[in-house]
Structure 1
Amino acid sequence: MNKINNLEKLQDSHSYRKIAIAACFGTFLEWYDFLTFATLAVVFAPLFFPSSDPSAGLLASLATFGVGMIVRPIGAAIFGSMGDRIGRKPVFMITIALMGFTTFCVGFLPTYAQVGIWAPILLVCLRLLQGFSAGGEIGGSAVYLTEHAGNEHRGFKTSFLQLMGPLGILFSTLQIAFLRSYLSPEAFQEWGWRVPFWISILLLLIACKARMALEETPVFLELSKCNQKTENPLLSNFRDPETRKRMFLLFFCISAGGAVLFFCVQVYTAIFLKTSAKLPPEVVDEISIFTTLALFPLTLFAGWLSDKAGRKPVVIGGLLLGAVLIQPAFQMLQSLSGQYLKSPGANTPLILIGLILTLLSLALALVIGPQTALLAELFPANTRNSAATLPHNLAAGWIGGLLPLIVTWLNQQWGSDLAGLWYPTIFLIVGAIVALIHLPETKNQSLLD
C-alpha cells in the first residue's frame, strides 16, 4: 500500500513541476559556475598563464579547466554514497553551497601580473573545489528528479534537466557578449571578466532558498520505512556483477558519449572558431547563443522520442550521428570561417555555420535527452545514487572534460587543426557498437525495484 501511495504522489503534476523547477535551477547554477571558466578559457590564458607562446598559454588554461573535471569522480564517490545513506536532499544543499562560494571567489583572484605564480595556484585550488562539488550534484540531481517523475512520460519529463548545462553556457555567454559590447577590450581584460563570477552569489542565494523547500524523494522514503538502505552502497555496487556491468555501460556508452558530444558542440566549437578559425570573439558568441537555443527543443524531442521508441535506439542513433558528422562538420566550419573573414559583411557563411552546429546539436540531444531517466533506471533503488553518479562523473570528467585539452594537444602534435578530432570520432563509434550489443532497454523499468 505504501508503494501505491508513493506512486500516486509521484503523479501529482503540480508538485512535480515545483520540484523540477527547484532541482533544475540548482543544477543550472552548478553548470553556470562550472562552465563559465570554459567560456573564458581564452581570456584566462594571458591573465593567469602568461607565455611568449600563445598556444602554451591556451593549453595551460584548458588544463586548468580539465583539472576541475578530473576531481569530479571523487566528489561523486563521496556525495553519491551520502545520497544513498542520508538522503538525496541534504547532499543537494552541501554541493550547491560549495559550488557557489568557490565560483564567487574566482571573481576576486589576483592575476599573474599581481602575485606571480600564486595566481595560477589559487585558480587551480578553486577549480578543484568546483569539480568536487559538481561531482556530487551532476548525476545525483538526475536520480532525484527521476525518482519524483513517476512512470509515465519519464523520458520527456526528466529531459528538462539536460537543458541546464546549455542554459548555463547560454547565460554565461550572454553576459560576456553584453560586457564585450559595453566595455573596451582593455576594461574587459582588466575587470570585466570577473562580473559573471560575482553574479554567482546572487544565483546561489536564490538556489538555496528554492532547494530548502524540496522534499525527499518518495523512493528514498520508502527505502527508509522498509529499512532497505545500504550502509556501504559503493562497495555493494562493485560486488554485484550486474551492477558493475551497467556502471560500465553508463560510463562508456551513455555518459562518455554524451560528454564527448557536449564538449565538442558546446565547448570546443567556440574555442576552435576563436583560435583555429580566427573568427572574432563577438561573432562566435552570437553563433554559440543561436546553437544553444536550437539545442533546447531538440533535447526535449529526444526525451519524448525515448518514451515512444525506447532509450536504447535513441542513444545509439545520437552516437552514430555524432561519429559521422564531427570530421566533415569541423572541416566545413574552418572553410566557412575563411569565407567570412574574406568578406566580413557576408551573412551566408555564418548562417551555414549555424546550421552545421545545429546538426551537431541534434546528435548531442539524442544522447542526452534520455540520459537523465537512464541514470536512474539502470540501477536498484537502494544503491542507485552512488551507482549512477560515479560512472557518470568519471565519464564527464575524464573523457569529456579533458577532450578540449586532448584535441588541442593532438592538433599541435600533428600540425593540423582537425587531426585531434579523430579521437572523439573513434570513441563514439566504439561506444555505439558496445551499446548496440550490451545496453538493456529500461523505459518501462520500475524505480521502486
Structure 2
Amino acid sequence: MSNSQDVRDAAVDTDDGGHDATPMTAQERKVILASSLGTIFEWYDFYLYGALAAIIARQFFTALEPTSAFIFALLAFAAGFIVRPIGAVVFGGLGDMIGRKYTFLATIVIMGVSTALVAVLPTYSTAGAFAPIALVLLRMLQGLALGGEYGGAAIYVAEHAPQNRRGAYTAWVQTTATVGLFLALIVILVTRSLLGEAPFAEWGWRIPFALSAVMLAGSLWIRLSMSESPAFRKMQEEGKTSKAPLAECFGQWKNLKIIVLALFGLVAGQAVVWYTGQFYALFFLTGMLRVDPTTANILIAIALLIGTPFFVVFGTLSDRIGRKPIIMAGLLIACLTYFPLFKMLTSMANPDLAAAQERVQIVVKADPMTCSFQGSPIAKETDFTSSCDIAKRALAQLAASYTNEALPSGSSTEVHIGGTVLAPPNGHLTAEGDRFETDSLFEISHFRKELLPDVLKEAGYPVKADPAKINHVGVVAVLVALMLLVTMVYGPIAATLVEMFPTRIRYTSMSLPYHIGNGWFGGLMPTIAFAMVAQNGDMYHGLWYPIGVAAVTFVVGMFFIRETKDVDIYAKFLYWHPNRLRK
C-alpha cells in the first residue's frame, strides 16, 4: 500500500463465500516478510538461553549443586519472561504514541546488543558472582525488548491485511517464535557438530550468541525499509492518536476488562500449551528421559519443521470458521491428551525406563516433617541434610521417578525399589555449618554414586536412553502431535487480540495480556513444572500445571470470549460494544 492509500482499501473484493478472492500483493508480501524476519531474529536471540540451559547452568551457576543449578538456569531463562509485561507497557505506549515502525527499531537494537554481549560475558569460574548477575540482567533486557516486539509485528501485519484474511496474514507472524527456536537449535547443532562436545561446552556455546550481531545488522536494514502502518498513519492524519495510552487502557474499566478477559480467556492457556509442546518437551527428553542433547535437538527440530506450516493452516481456517472454536478445541484436547502423549514419549524415547517403571515401582517412605521442599532454586547441597532429602535429591539427579508414602513421626526414611529396601544416610554438618562432616560426606557419596545407582541398574533403570532403542519415528510423531496443539491455540491468537482492541490503544492493550500470559504463565512453565517434579517425585507431575491453566482458560473463554473474525478493526465501536460494527 502506498502512503496515500486510505486504510479502508485494505478491505478487498470477496468471493461469494465472503472470503478474499484476490492473491496476496507484492506489497503485502513485503510487509509480512519484513515483520516476520526481524521477529524471527528476536525469538532466536531469546530462545538461545533455553536451548543451552544445561551448559549455562554449568558455566554460570557452579556454586550450586547440579539440580539447583539447573533450576536456577531455568529461572535465568525465565527472568526474560518475567519482565516482558514491563516491556509491553513501555514499548506498547510508545507504539501507540509515536508509531509502530520506530518502536520496532528500538526493540531490535536492545535485543541484538544484549544477546551479543553474552558471547563475551565471563563465566563464574573467572568472574565469580558478577557472571550470573550480569547474565540475568542481559536476559531481562531481552525480555523488555521482546515485550515491545511481538505486539508491534502482529499489529503491523493485521493493519495491512484485508478484512477477511487477517487470520491468514498474521499467522505468518505466529510462525516466527517457532522458526526462531528452530533456527537456534540448528545453529547449536551445527556448531556442536563442527567443534565437538567438549570444546562446545567449554567455549563454543558462545558462537550462537555472537551470531546475533550479524542478525542485528540484517534486522536493522529490514526494519529501516518499512513504512508506517496505514491504520496508525490514518489516525495521525486525523489527530486521533492517544496522548496517554496507559491511562486509557488501565484507567477505564471498559478497556481494562477486555485486557483481563484476553489474558484469562485466551492467552494464559495458549501460553502453557506453547511452552509445553516445544520447550518442556525438549527439557523432558533431555532431563527426564536422558536422551542425548544432540539427538533431542534433532528430533525437536524435525517436529518443528513438520508442524510449523500448520500455524498458517489454522490461521487461514480461522478466517472461515472463526478464531474461538479452533483455540478452544486446542486447549481442550491438550487437557485430555498431555498425560498419554508424554507417557508415549517415554516409551518411544527410553523404552527401558518405561519398562522399568512399569515393572518396578520406587517408593520413598518417610516422616513428612523431615522432608524439605525439593524444588527450591536457591538451595545448596548442605540445605538437604535429612535422610529423606538426601534420598529424594539422589533419585532426582538420577532421573528416577518415585512416589511418596508418609510414615509416622520419628520414623526412619526408607527407599523401596521393588523388593530392595535402602536406608539413606543422614547428613551431619561441620561446626561451621557450611559443609558435611567427613564421615557424612563419604556415606552420602557412597549412597548417591554407588549404592543407589547399582540397585536401580539391577532393577532395570537405565542411566541414559539407549540410542539404538530410540523409536525416532515414534518420538517425532508424538512431538508433532504436541506441535499441532501449539498451532491450534497460537495460529489464530494474533488476529483475535488485534480485533479485540481499538487502533489508538491497540499496541498497549494487546501487548500486555499477551506478555503476561506468555511471559509469566508460559515462560515460567518449565521452571514450575520441574520444581513440581522435584518435590513430588513423579516425572509426569509437572504436567498438572499446564493442564490446570489450560482448563481454566477454556472455561473462561467459552463463557466470556466472543468471536472476533468479522469485527471491523477500523469501526467506531469496539469489540465489547453491544452495537459494534461488522463488515
Taking structure 2 as the reference length, the TM-score comes to 0.74
Contact 2:289–2:465 at 8 Å: present in 1 too?
no
Contact 1:322–1:364 at 8 Å: present in 2 too?
no
Shift of 1:426: 1.2
Kindly provide the CA deviation profile for residues 182-211 of structure 1, in whole angstroms up to 9, marking residues without a partner as x. Answer: 222220012110111111111111111111
Report the equivalent of 1:96.
Answer: 108
CA RMSD, aligned part only? 1.7
5 Å matches for 1:67-78?
Answer: 67-78=79-90
Contact 2:330–2:489 at 8 Å: present in 1 too?
yes
- One-letter code of the match for 1:360? L
Secondary structure of residue in 2 paired with 1:353: helix
5 Å matches for 1:7-86?
Answer: 7-8=8-9, 13-51=25-63, 53-86=65-98
Specify which of 306, 314, 337 is matched with residue 326 of structure 2: 314
Specify which of 546, 549, 568 is matched with residue 427 of structure 1: 549
Contact 1:143–1:375 at 8 Å: present in 2 too?
no
- One-letter code of the match for 1:396? N
Kindly provide the CA deviation profile for residues 288-316 of structure 1, in whole angstroms up to 9, marking residues without a partner as x. Answer: 11111122121111101101110111110
Question: Are residue 5 (structure 1) and residue 37 (structure 2) matched?
Answer: no
Distance in 2 of aligned mates of 1:433 and 1:267: 25
Contact 1:299–1:369 at 8 Å: present in 2 too?
yes
Question: Are residue 188 (structure 1) and residue 200 (structure 2) matched?
Answer: yes
Report the equivalent of 2:307.
Answer: 295
Report the equivalent of 1:354.
Answer: 476
- One-letter code of the match for 2:334? G
Distance in 2 of aligned mates of 1:400 and 1:52: 25
Contact 2:235–2:504 at 8 Å: present in 1 too?
yes
Distance in 1 of aligned mates of 2:465 and 2:97: 60
5 Å matches for 1:299-448?
Answer: 299-339=311-351, 344-346=467-469, 349-448=471-570
Kindly provide the CA deviation profile for residues 318-347 of structure 1, in whole angstroms up to 9, marking residues without a partner as x. Answer: 111111121221122123222276753245
Distance in 2 of aligned mates of 1:278 and 1:29: 30
Question: Are residue 251 (structure 1) and residue 285 (structure 2) matched?
Answer: no
Q: 1:394 to 1:292 in 2, by over 3 A?
A: same
Question: Are residue 155 (structure 1) and residue 167 (structure 2) matched?
Answer: yes
Specify which of 235, 238, 249 is matched with residue 247 of structure 2: 235
Specify which of 154, 157, 170 is matched with residue 182 of structure 2: 170
Distance in 1 of aligned mates of 2:549 and 2:277: 15
Question: Are residue 271 (structure 1) and residue 283 (structure 2) matched?
Answer: yes
Structure 1 residues not aligned, in runs of 5+: none
Identity percentage of aligned residues: 35
Distance in 2 of aligned mates of 1:132 and 1:53: 30
Distance in 1 of aligned mates of 2:541 and 2:197: 32
Q: 1:325 to 1:75 in 2, by over 3 A?
A: same
Contact 2:290–2:465 at 8 Å: present in 1 too?
no
Contact 2:43–2:176 at 8 Å: present in 1 too?
yes
Contact 2:277–2:485 at 8 Å: present in 1 too?
no
- One-letter code of the match for 2:219? A
Secondary structure of residue in 1 paired with 2:136: helix
- One-letter code of the match for 2:95? G
Question: Are residue 214 (structure 1) and residue 226 (structure 2) matched?
Answer: yes
Question: Are residue 115 (structure 1) and residue 116 (structure 2) matched?
Answer: no
Kindly provide the CA deviation profile for residues 114-150 of structure 1, in whole angstroms up to 9, marking residues without a partner as x. Answer: 1111110110110111111111112221111111112
Secondary structure of residue in 2 paired with 1:58: helix
Distance in 2 of aligned mates of 1:346 and 1:46: 29
Distance in 2 of aligned mates of 1:396 and 1:195: 27
Kindly provide the CA deviation profile for residues 382-406 of structure 1, in whole angstroms up to 9, marking residues without a partner as x. Answer: 1111101111111111111111110
Distance in 2 of aligned mates of 1:38 and 1:252: 25
Shift of 1:444: 1.0
Taking structure 1 as the reference length, the TM-score comes to 0.96
Using the TM superposition, name which of 331-340 and 210-219 deviates more.
Answer: 331-340
- One-letter code of the match for 1:201? A
Report the equivalent of 2:456.
Answer: none
Distance in 2 of aligned mates of 1:39 and 1:172: 8
- Larger of the two Rg values belongs to structure: 2
Shift of 1:433: 1.0
Shift of 1:51: 4.5
Shift of 1:53: 2.7
- One-letter code of the match for 2:8? L
Shift of 1:3: 11
Contact 1:294–1:358 at 8 Å: present in 2 too?
yes
Q: 1:231 to 1:110 in 2, by over 3 A?
A: same
Contact 1:327–1:421 at 8 Å: present in 2 too?
yes
Contact 1:47–1:113 at 8 Å: present in 2 too?
yes
Shift of 1:223: 1.0
Shift of 1:258: 1.9
Contact 1:140–1:388 at 8 Å: present in 2 too?
no
Contact 2:6–2:230 at 8 Å: present in 1 too?
no
- One-letter code of the match for 1:420? G
Specify which of 197, 201, 204 is matched with residue 216 of structure 2: 204
Distance in 2 of aligned mates of 1:217 and 1:338: 50
Distance in 2 of aligned mates of 1:129 and 1:52: 25
